[in-house]
Amino acid sequence: MINLLPPEEKIKLLSQKREKLVVILGITITIPLLCFILILLSIRFYILGEINSQKILLQQAEKEYQTPEFLVFKDIIQKNDKILDRIEPFYKKETYITQVLETISRIARPENLYLTNISVIRSKDQKIKITASGFSKTRDSLLVFQKNIQENAMIQNVSFSPESWVAPQDVKFNVAFEVK
């Protein structure tokens, strides 16, 4: 096809084409941008409405929890919390004697050996020290008892008093050891 239009008309048509193209591109960019702005505005208004409703709920809850009965109950809870804070360290330092006595009772004792006194002490380094005294009919029974104590994995640092080994019959003994 031959274009017989004068050059001024050609330039005018080309500029009109460009203007139409700019208008179309402007509209295609502007419309989605406006939609995005409207979506953001609606989200903002929704969030502002939710904030206001939450503020109202918070104010109602504060009024509800400012009643005299609730304030008295709150004071009681706070006092008990302070007491529990003071009691917790006490229980952490406590020796659980049942576990210690269970360990001691599992030690095999000969028939003619009796424990007469047991003392349980927790030292500053958190070790549990046991001091026991007793009676054995023979020194051999006491030797068997010493062997049984030393074989127990939960017991360490076993020491018998020197007087425990003097008499061959009717032995009164004292033993000290630590329980893990």
The Cα–Cα gap between 80 and 69 comes to 17
**What predicted TM-score, i.e. pTM, was given to this entire model?**
0.49
Count of positions (residues) in the chain: 180
Who wins on pLDDT, 23 or 166?
A: 23
Average pLDDT over residues 171-176: 91
The Cα–Cα gap between 65 and 170 comes to 74
Instruction: Note the pLDDT of residue 72.
Output: 87
* Helix or strand holding residue 46 (H, E): helix 7-64
Strand partners, 128: 122, 179
Average pLDDT over residues 118-124: 81
Amino acid identity of residue 80, one-letter, is N
Tens digit of each residue's pLDDT (9 = 90 or more) over 18-60: 999 999 999 999 999 999 999 999 999 999 999 999 999 999 8
122 phi, psi to nearest 5 deg: -100, 125
The Cα-based distances of 45 to 1, 38, 58 in angstroms read 59, 11, 20
117 in Cβ contact with 133 (< 8 Å): yes
In this predicted structure, the answer to whether residue 1 has a pLDDT above a threshold of 70 is: no
In this predicted structure, the answer to whether residue 15 has a pLDDT above a threshold of 70 is: yes
Tens digit of each residue's pLDDT (9 = 90 or more) over 107-119: 888 888 999 998 8
Instruction: Note the pLDDT of residue 71.
Output: 82
